[in-house]
């Protein structure tokens, strides 16, 4: 029997009187994480070094930029967690690997694996004992190099996760291109690739057109599909300030994310005294999953109707026609599309009322300076690119690009995911870059396009991969169709993982397997007696230096750069134009090569870095220069969406979104708590609207199986999820990533960019039987 839930039984509900995001709880959580990792917190000089321009290190957590004048403690709760996790006193030693076989470790949770601490020695898989044994670096390089020499280069994959520095990433892609491969699956392919592809189609550049100072001048900030309180907490300070000076913040998100409702800034004494916080979102629109195109076109429809009306009656126009005329094309077709779109269809697809959408449009009209931000709730959809085009239409209609206090702000994930692409990690690099590399290094780069993450997974499924090399990350845990792909990995002749901590991707291995431990960003990197600086590019295009402060976790660690150089020397025939050892001795030499490969972007690289410790890359659209085919910005919209014959969002099945909890960094699980969502002690939950719980005859607390719907006839299920009543729209479900990654067919991806569609997984939900519940090991549910 189902029962009606009382309001206070609802998870994720945030009323007037609930605790804000941030606040004292945030300070407390920071300290707990340091204590847990046995890193002293109070007065710790380490924390004073985060995100400081001179001699500090860049926080390894998210890509949010630093202010020009950083405060003395320029970090957030989750940055501190990431640092504590890296600086932990725990070690995963050869003795540990002697005690535990790989098959045994496979049954451990993700949390338990990383919790063992930092890797200390290079390791090689021993098939006789099913264990990892220590090995010396030179033997590892030699054996790996000899194997790679025998493979067809188009069957070699080089993965990059976004913590890797510019210098390491540049050498990594050079190594790959010199092997002869063009397969560079990149964590970006699961993340903001959608932005990288769709944004240039609209405005000619794939990066943020805002800088941090723009947030100080904006009147209205739209937040689409992004959970800043957890995933880019330093952004909260800016939103907090914006609200205090009267700017509006308009959020579109199926979930009510606590910090976006109300936030107490841990750096603001008044908030901390009262622990009350400031309301962040002036409007909060809980739209349907995937309802953004309809919602934004609804806003545009309202704006166009208001403007048409003003034109006919001599009122004040609300659309910036001068800008549109001078800088864009395609507006009339888009306007006509919006005029024709029935409100009833907009409401049905967005799940929002006409009144709510009109309210958002009114805020846009009131504002002179509008910023639109977006995250994974926009990019990880089959229509992710269309989502982004609509956001840009909204900005272009008001001339909100190339104006102080306005612009497009994709909020990027990994701290250097943007820089890795800029310096050359790309499976579709263009002719200009490739011919430059050919000339500089006397090589011949492969021209045809290689594999991204989705194509790499498909190649693994076809058993067409001979070597998979991972520069950081946790590829086999982060991807779609995890179980299917992983079942083929044992057929890969060689897997090599360069990592800081043990994770599942090290246990899902090829016939020969190596695990190479790297220095982390917080650690001193000394080469030829000199402490080295690496660089990263944040999500707003600032390139900056980072220098580690801690002693390395083990004397056997090597820098990522040294490891690439070691692998390259062992794999490639000598080339007088690429002296790997010489490059790895002084990272400024690598920056010179980066500059030579892209002089327009990286001119005077070392000099600019030395001058201020940071410089901003030129973004043409900021100056209203549009690097598109026509030299103008484009209004783009899908012709086949919201049409009469498109299938309606019905209640035949659910749409599931997969998200991050507050105590997690991607596949790294710090703990089983998600404070902002009132979920404690487990991640195996399924968030469901109370009316859906009732309608389908479930009860909160029921254990269920989720089965994905797909066209390929393959059964994909995950079990053991406990239903919790949650404040999200009907027919929408929420669960944690990566626990649900088995459910996502690798074919479910954004059409333009191949980005996995992790935010709209069509599923059915069924109750588990008592026998099934008893047989369920609950592997992922506990530490
Ligand atoms: N602490 C911490 N920080 C991180 C990370 C981490 O795991 N932990 N990961 C880093 C990385 S790599 C990335 S990419 C970023 C990710 O940062 P986010 O982009 O914030 O990532 P998600 O947790 O996936 O949350 C996406 C949000 O989109 C909403 N959403 C889902 N579907 C839709 C939809 O259809 N429409 C709209 N409008 N909203 C939707 C969800 O409810 C959720 O609030 O964070 C980075 N920073
Ligand atoms: N269902 C679903 N799937 C998703 C997502 C989602 O929202 N939903 N999000 C996607 C997104 S946005 C992303 S970015 C990917 C993330 O995919 P990845 O980037 O591959 O995964 P991470 O969990 O960030 O990788 C963590 C591992 O990186 C290693 N590591 C940490 N620091 C360093 C370092 O400095 N150097 C080296 N060499 N290794 C290091 C550690 O061993 C750690 O275990 O997942 C994607 N998958
Ligand atoms: Mo990401």
Task: For a ligand 1 pocket test, name from 226, 739, 740 the mutation site with the most ligand atoms within 8 angstroms of its C-beta.
Answer: 226
Ligand number nearest to the C-alpha of 58: 2
Same fold, 194-410 and 654-782: no
**DSSP 8-state secondary structure symbol assigned to residue 575:** B
**533 CA from centroid of ligand 3 (Å):** 24
CATH class of 91-191+416-526+555-613: alpha beta
| Cα–Cα distance for residue pair 578/594, rounded to 1 Å | 13
Q: Are strands 494-499 and 512-517 parallel, antiparallel or unpaired?
A: parallel
In tens, the pLDDT along 71-118 reads 766 678 888 888 889 999 999 999 999 999 999 999 999 999 999 999
Indicate which atom in ligand 2 lies nearest the CA of residue 162: 19
Phi, psi of 132 (to 5 degrees): -90, 130
| Cα–Cα distance for residue pair 521/537, rounded to 1 Å | 14
Domain boundaries, the chain: 7-87, 91-191+416-526+555-613, 194-410, 654-782
| Cα–Cα distance for residue pair 236/310, rounded to 1 Å | 37
Ligand number nearest to the C-alpha of 228: 1
Judged against a pLDDT cut of 50, whether residue 3 lies above it is answered with no
Q: Which two tokens stand for residue 23?
A: 């606040």
| Cα–Cα distance for residue pair 676/14, rounded to 1 Å | 9
Look at residue 44 in the predicted model and tell me its pLDDT.
64
Query: Ligand 1 pocket, 253 CB below 6 A?
Result: yes
In tens, the pLDDT along 701-747 reads 999 999 999 999 999 999 999 999 999 999 999 999 999 999 999 99
**198 CA from centroid of ligand 1 (Å):** 19
Q: What is the arithmetic mean of pLDDT over 487-501?
A: 98
Phi, psi of 204 (to 5 degrees): 85, 5
Residues 6 or more apart in contact with residue 317 via CB below 8 angstroms: 307, 310, 311
Q: In the block, which residue shows the tokens 């067809």?
A: 152
Look at residue 544 in the predicted model and tell me its pLDDT.
95
Indicate which atom in ligand 2 lies nearest the CA of residue 113: 44
Judged against a pLDDT cut of 50, whether residue 43 lies above it is answered with no
Judged against a pLDDT cut of 70, whether residue 41 lies above it is answered with no
Q: From atom 25 of ligand 2, which residue's Cα is the shortest distance away?
A: 473
Q: What is the mean pLDDT of the chain?
A: 93
Indicate which atom in ligand 2 lies nearest the CA of residue 659: 7
In tens, the pLDDT along 558-600 reads 999 999 999 999 999 999 999 999 999 999 999 999 999 999 9
Judged against a pLDDT cut of 70, whether residue 18 lies above it is answered with no
Judged against a pLDDT cut of 50, whether residue 1 lies above it is answered with no
Query: Ligand 1 pocket, 375 CB below 6 A?
Result: yes
| Cα–Cα distance for residue pair 62/169, rounded to 1 Å | 18
Judged against a pLDDT cut of 80, whether residue 48 lies above it is answered with no
Q: What is the CATH number of domain 194-410?
A: 3.40.228.10
**475 CA from centroid of ligand 3 (Å):** 12
CATH class of 654-782: mainly beta
Query: Ligand 2 pocket, 475 CB below 6 A?
Result: yes
In tens, the pLDDT along 236-293 reads 999 999 999 999 999 999 999 999 999 888 777 777 777 678 899 999 999 999 999 9
Judged against a pLDDT cut of 50, whether residue 2 lies above it is answered with no
Q: Element (H or E) spanning 615, and its range?
A: strand 614-616
Judged against a pLDDT cut of 60, whether residue 539 lies above it is answered with yes
Name the strands in the sheet holding 542-546, side by side, starting at the edge strand that comes first in the sequence.
534-537, 542-546, 614-616
Kindly report the number of other CB atoms within 10 A of residue 332's CB atom.
10
Name the strands in the sheet holding 220-224, side by side, starting at the edge strand that comes first in the sequence.
283-285, 248-252, 220-224, 370-374, 407-410
Q: From atom 27 of ligand 2, which residue's Cα is the shortest distance away?
A: 473
Task: For a ligand 1 pocket test, name from 256, 377, 674 the mutation site with the most ligand atoms within 8 angstroms of its C-beta.
Answer: 377
Contact (Cβ atoms closer than 8 angstroms) between residue 201 and residue 595: no
**Closest C-alpha among 161, 162, 154, 160 to residue 182:** 154
């Amino acid at each position: 029997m189902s029962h009606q839930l009382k309001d206070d039984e609802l998870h994720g509900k945030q009323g007037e009187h609930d605790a804000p995001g941030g606040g004292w709880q945030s300070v407390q959580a920071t300290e707990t994480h340091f204590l847990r990792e046995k890193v002293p917190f109070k007065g710790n000089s380490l924390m004073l070094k985060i995100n400081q321009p001179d001699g500090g290190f860049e926080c390894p957590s998210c890509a949010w930029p630093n202010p020009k004048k950083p405060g003395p403690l320029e970090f957030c709760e989750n940055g501190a967690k990431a640092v504590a996790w890296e600086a932990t006193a725990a070690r995963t030693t050869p003795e540990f690997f002697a005690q535990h076989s790989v098959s045994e470790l496979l049954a451990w949770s993700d949390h338990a694996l990383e919790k063992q601490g930092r890797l200390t020695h290079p390791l090689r898989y021993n098939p006789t004992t099913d264990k990892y044994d220590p090995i010396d670096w030179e033997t590892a390089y030699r054996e790996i190099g000899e194997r790679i020499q025998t493979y067809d280069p188009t069957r070699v994959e080089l993965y990059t996760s976004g913590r890797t520095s510019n210098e390491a990433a540049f050498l990594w892609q050079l190594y790959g291109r010199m092997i002869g491969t063009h397969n560079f699956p990149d964590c970006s392919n699961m993340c903001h690739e959608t932005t990288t592809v769709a944004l240039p189609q609209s405005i000619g550049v794939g990066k943020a057109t805002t800088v941090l100072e723009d947030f100080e001048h904006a009147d209205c900030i739209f937040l689409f599909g992004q959970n800043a309180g957890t995933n880019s907490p330093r952004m909260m300070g800016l939103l907090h300030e914006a609200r205090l000076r009267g700017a509006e913040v308009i959020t579109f998100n199926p979930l009510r994310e606590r910090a976006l409702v109300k936030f107490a800034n841990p750096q603001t004494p008044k908030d901390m005294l009262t622990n009350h916080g400031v309301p962040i979102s002036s409007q909060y629109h809980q739209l349907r999953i995937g309802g953004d195109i309809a919602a934004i076109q609804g806003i545009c429809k309202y704006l166009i109707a208001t403007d048409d009306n003003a034109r006919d009656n001599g009122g004040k126009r609300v659309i910036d026609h001068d800008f549109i005329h001078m800088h864009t094309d395609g507006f009339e077709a888009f306007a006509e599309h919006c005029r024709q779109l029935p409100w009833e269809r907009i409401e049905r697809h967005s799940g929002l009322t006409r009144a709510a959408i009109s309210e958002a449009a009114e805020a846009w009209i009131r504002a002179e300076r509008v910023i639109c931000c977006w995250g994974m709730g926009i990019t990880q959809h089959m229509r992710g690119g269309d989502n982004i085009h609509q956001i840009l239409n909204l900005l272009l209609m008001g001339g909100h690009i190339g104006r102080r206090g306005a612009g497009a702000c994709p909020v990027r994930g990994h701290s250097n995911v943007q820089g890795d692409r800029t310096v050359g990690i790309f499976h579709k690099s263009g002719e200009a870059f490739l011919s430059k590399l050919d000339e500089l290094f006397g090589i011949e780069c492969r021209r045809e396009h290689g594999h991204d993450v989705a194509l790499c997974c498909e190649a693994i499924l076809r058993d067409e991969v001979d070597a998979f090399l991972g520069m950081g990350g946790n590829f086999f845990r982060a991807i779609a169709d995890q179980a299917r792909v992983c079942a083929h990995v044992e057929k890969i002749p060689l897997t090599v993982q360069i990592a800081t901590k043990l994770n599942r991707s090290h246990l899902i291995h090829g016939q020969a397997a190596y695990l190479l431990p790297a220095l982390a960003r917080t650690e001193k990197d000394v080469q030829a007696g000199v402490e080295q600086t690496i660089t990263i590019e944040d999500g707003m295009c600032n390139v900056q230096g980072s220098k580690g402060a801690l002693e390395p976790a083990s004397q056997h660690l090597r820098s990522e750069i040294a490891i690439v150089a070691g692998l390259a020397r062992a794999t490639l025939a000598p080339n007088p134009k690429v002296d790997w050892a010489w490059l790895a001795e002084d990272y400024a030499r690598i920056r010179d090569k980066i500059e030579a490969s892209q002089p327009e972007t990286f001119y005077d690289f070392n000099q600019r870095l030395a001058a201020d410790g940071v410089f901003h890359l030129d973004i043409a659209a900021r100056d209203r220069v549009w690097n598109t085919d026509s030299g103008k910005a484009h209004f783009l919209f899908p012709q086949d969406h919201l049409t009469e014959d498109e299938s309606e969002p019905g209640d035949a099945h659910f749409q599931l979104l997969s998200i991050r909890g507050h105590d997690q960094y991607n596949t790294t699980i710090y703990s089983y708590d998600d404070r902002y969502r009132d979920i404690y002690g487990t991640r195996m939950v399924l968030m469901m609207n109370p009316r859906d719980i009732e309608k389908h005859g479930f009860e909160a607390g029921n254990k269920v199986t989720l089965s994905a719907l797909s066209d390929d006839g393959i059964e994909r299920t995950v079990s053991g999820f406990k239903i919790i009543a949650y404040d999200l729209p009907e027919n929408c479900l929420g669960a944690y990533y990566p626990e649900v990654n088995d459910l996502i067919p690798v074919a479910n991806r954004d059409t333009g960019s191949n980005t996995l569609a992790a935010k709209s997984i069509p599923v059915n939900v069924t109750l588990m039987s008592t026998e099934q519940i008893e047989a369920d090991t609950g592997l992922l549910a506990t530490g």
